[in-house]
Structure 1
């Protein structure tokens, strides 16, 4: 009859619960044959999620079990709380077997937690040791790959005995590189091991030089400390990158003259530690016979001292002319200056420098250690790069939009470099020059004013949608002059040579 009712889904049944005092001698409540070994950590977990454990009155999560276990032992008057107290507080417990199971699960969880914590600490120590070895190898100039990291990790683990059965899997290497911000990069330069070892000595010499100059800077105002250096500018400066269709393997772009990509001229600016610049830019142009033509006058730029040579490389005579004309100028605030120069032979000739100075002037030279100019010379650290970027932007615009403007010829070169030098001398870029001194290590504090580079300031997005400010000119502007804050077209600014 009951089976028939159940088959028709019409069976009605009820259930009565009755609370009775806990009796430790009650055979229904205690199973004397049950031990912790009877605990099945797999089958006592319900299949769907494996996160809840079976007890007499239902399932409980591991968090609830640990909470119940802590409550079970949280009494000072006796060893543990009674079953009645536990049943009232935690309803999944029904008998002493449940208490034993609860304690076994909690103990297992505590041991797992300890093992997990110890493993995490061991993995962290292993990772730190491998990172130190990898960084040391990279600093010494060795090429590293994933397999090298795996070998390092296995060797470190065998030596320090951090973990059992550690294999340094590929997934471990991937996580290690991601956490330590290490990635595969194309090698841009190969040097001999001897030269790489010399690099450490160069860095030490650079640090010592900076420290000595900082001591001297304590006795002088910043406008009496300067730096100058030569830099070669290609007659045509073009970016080595260009937009092209995706997948195109060969990217060909035009220039006005291929020879201008291998021929240069030399510029030599002067910058001061207070962010100001010298009045004149010294320029050496390569000319046939080492002199300018007598019949054709070259473009006269007011802020350039232009000289010629059989090549663009400076000679000692060029150095004498630069000392005589470009250091002590009408705007120089002192007759006594300290200048940082590289280790070029002519710069080490103090007698030649002193004999070239204007009367009554004193110039104290300090030679930057050989090979250290990229580390502690302000011009190299952060000046020439934005300077060349500005020249390249002006030349590139003229090349695309004014084909008759031959950018590699003498007068266009002088116009562009003179205008670019005027931009660099704008007062708004003083923080940028001060930053160059800070980045080289001579100034402890970076400029408090946030600065923009010349390209960022002179070529905002809005400049190309604005008309030229020149009266009667209908052309669109291409540059914003930082000296006058007006926008100008290429014709009015470059070809006709804008003068602020």
Structure 2
């Protein structure tokens, strides 16, 4: 080590195991991976200058000292790990509450005092729990499963981490997860997916992180394909000239749209800045993955009807910038003749009377036409906005972009149009449409949870009928309309870069399906399936779905035993 800056004995590692060939090789791999990350994000040049400046030597010394300290504490940086130092000098709303007995002496075991990487999901869980129970002490939080919280003061730093989207490892994980989910959804619907699509989806996911230098580079997309076993296959379909826009052109168009929209936003109340979009839903949605033995060459899953998996219908939600859903959701079911028969029509009308937050229509394809979209405007949007002036963000589908369509429906008492429409440019919806960027991911997650729960598997039952489709969206709309999800809905606008406002929020999994509910029972003594987002009570599938819980849902509980 002679001649190496900072190599004094005070930095030498105490454990001989750290100097083994295996440890040296592991460190070399870590350095290679660090260089790869820096190259992917354009933070380092591909080649060195050939000379080392004084500033470069200082940086190198600091990096060396930090590395030796990490080795000395036997903490190795893996691909999924990041060493995080926590600050203890911040003050704010989280207060250290002392117990009457031994809280003052309560300390973490000595072995837990080393710096460690805390996953973003864990930080969200702890911060939200601390906010819900401001009088809980550190000791109480530990008993409730927050043992990795070393000091109440760390909550401020964790909250800032959450607002900024987490650490660099968290951000890469989120980008990869979002991109893969979009890929799977596209392939399930037999859509063509190109490398450029992966890059667009990744950039859309990365856009929620301010000043994060992610470029969806060629090295990143190669690694992403390899990790997820995605390969290019022979195609027989040719793309049109309209589909050949470059990534730079798409990003530029999205940026112009954002700037133009941000100028309009101050002219409207946030309750009347609305985004609406259609989303395709399968009659029977699946997770497309299942547990199986490692050596299984083929994996089969039984379903009563393959048509329910391949056929789809359309749901159209509308959400405001203030974090609210419009009171009704519009559903278009697929019917062979394009219209309901007399018996079916009578049954559907009865369903709508029971599930009062839905409007139902039909078409041959299960998709909306201009006529059906006009029906949506009249039956869903118009009763909400009434005569108020509002800003409506829509995508570039030709069936809804005619300004005259809105002028005929939305007028004030003087017959002056009240609707200002802003059309999102083609190919830009994954980047700047709130419904598409985040909201519909939560909708489909909740639907999959309902249609693939263990209770249905045990009963060899499926919920894929007309009534089930209507009932499912009535439940989804009811749950996502809960006040606890307002920050999540506002986040969709932030992730689209249409607003700078962002708050800590919980998603569907964290609110409705936390792991701790598995230890609790429904009032009927059956295993809990879901926690209601409104009343925060626990229910089994039969009590929640079959008995249609929203019809009896009460005022939110103030109980702390969740």
TM-score bracket relative to the smaller structure:
0.5 to 0.7
Partner of 2:213: none
Partner of 1:21: none
Aligned with 2:466 (options 410, 425, 428): 410
Largest Rg, 1 or 2: 1
Partner of 2:456: 399
Q: Is the contact made by 1:223 and 1:273 (CA closer than 8 Å) also made in structure 2?
A: yes
Cα 1:295–1:193 shift into 2, 3 Å: closer
The reply to whether residue 453 of structure 1 matches residue 507 of structure 2 is yes
SS at 1:339 equivalent: strand
Give the whole-Å Cα distance in 2 for the aligned partners of 1:135 and 1:489: 47
Unaligned runs of 5+ in 1: 1-49, 53-61, 65-123, 137-151, 164-174
Give the whole-Å Cα distance in 2 for the aligned partners of 1:402 and 1:420: 23
Question: After the TM superposition, which residues 232-251 of structure 1 pair with which residues of structure 2 at under 5 Å, given as runs?
Answer: 232-251=280-299
Question: After the TM superposition, which residues 93-492 of structure 1 pair with which residues of structure 2 at under 5 Å, given as runs?
Answer: 184-186=223-225, 188=230, 198-296=246-344, 297-298=347-348, 299-300=351-352, 301-329=355-383, 332=385, 335-357=388-410, 360=413, 362-397=418-453, 399-404=456-461, 406-447=462-503, 450-469=504-523, 473-492=524-543
- Deviation (angstroms), 1:487: 1.8
- Deviation (angstroms), 1:228: 0.4
Please give the TM-score of this superposition, normalised by the length of structure 2.
Answer: 0.55
Cα 1:236–1:358 shift into 2, 3 Å: farther
Give the whole-Å Cα distance in 1 for the aligned partners of 2:527 and 2:408: 51
Cα 1:214–1:309 shift into 2, 3 Å: same
Give the whole-Å Cα distance in 2 for the aligned partners of 1:193 and 1:369: 17
Equivalent pairs, count: 343
Give the whole-Å Cα distance in 1 for the aligned partners of 2:430 and 2:482: 25
| Residues 417-471 of structure 1, C-alpha deviations (whole Å, 9 max, x = no match) | 2101110111110000100000100111312xx22112221122233343333xx
Report 1 or 2 for greater relative contact order, CA contacts < 8 Å, sequence distance ≥ 6.
2
SS at 1:267 equivalent: strand
- Deviation (angstroms), 1:495: 1.6
- Deviation (angstroms), 1:484: 1.9
Please give the TM-score of this superposition, normalised by the length of structure 1.
Answer: 0.61
Give the whole-Å Cα distance in 1 for the aligned partners of 2:50 and 2:445: 54
The reply to whether residue 493 of structure 1 matches residue 550 of structure 2 is no
- Deviation (angstroms), 1:496: 2.3
Give the whole-Å Cα distance in 1 for the aligned partners of 2:367 and 2:301: 29
| Residues 205-227 of structure 1, C-alpha deviations (whole Å, 9 max, x = no match) | 10010011111112222112110
Cα 1:458–1:238 shift into 2, 3 Å: same
Cα 1:390–1:162 shift into 2, 3 Å: same
Give the whole-Å Cα distance in 2 for the aligned partners of 1:439 and 1:304: 28
Give the whole-Å Cα distance in 2 for the aligned partners of 1:273 and 1:410: 32
- Deviation (angstroms), 1:252: 1.8
Give the whole-Å Cα distance in 2 for the aligned partners of 1:480 and 1:487: 4
Partner of 1:90: none
SS at 1:417 equivalent: helix
- Deviation (angstroms), 1:367: 0.3
| Residues 76-110 of structure 1, C-alpha deviations (whole Å, 9 max, x = no match) | xxxxxxxxxxxxxxxxxxxxxxxxxxxxxxxxxxx
Unaligned runs of 5+ in 2: 10-31, 53-76, 83-167, 170-218, 233-237, 554-562
Q: Is the contact made by 1:324 and 1:358 (CA closer than 8 Å) also made in structure 2?
A: no
Give the whole-Å Cα distance in 2 for the aligned partners of 1:496 and 1:402: 16
Q: Is the contact made by 1:234 and 1:260 (CA closer than 8 Å) also made in structure 2?
A: yes
Give the whole-Å Cα distance in 1 for the aligned partners of 2:477 and 2:283: 16
Partner of 2:74: none
Give the whole-Å Cα distance in 1 for the aligned partners of 2:546 and 2:409: 36
Which one is further off, 190-199 or 433-442? 190-199
SS at 1:227 equivalent: strand
SS at 1:381 equivalent: helix
| Residues 117-162 of structure 1, C-alpha deviations (whole Å, 9 max, x = no match) | xxxxxxx9xx89x976x778xxxxxxxxxxxxxxx96xx67xx766
Give the whole-Å Cα distance in 2 for the aligned partners of 1:262 and 1:312: 12
- Deviation (angstroms), 1:333: 8.0
Give the whole-Å Cα distance in 2 for the aligned partners of 1:379 and 1:189: 29
Q: Is the contact made by 1:337 and 1:364 (CA closer than 8 Å) also made in structure 2?
A: yes
SS at 1:265 equivalent: strand
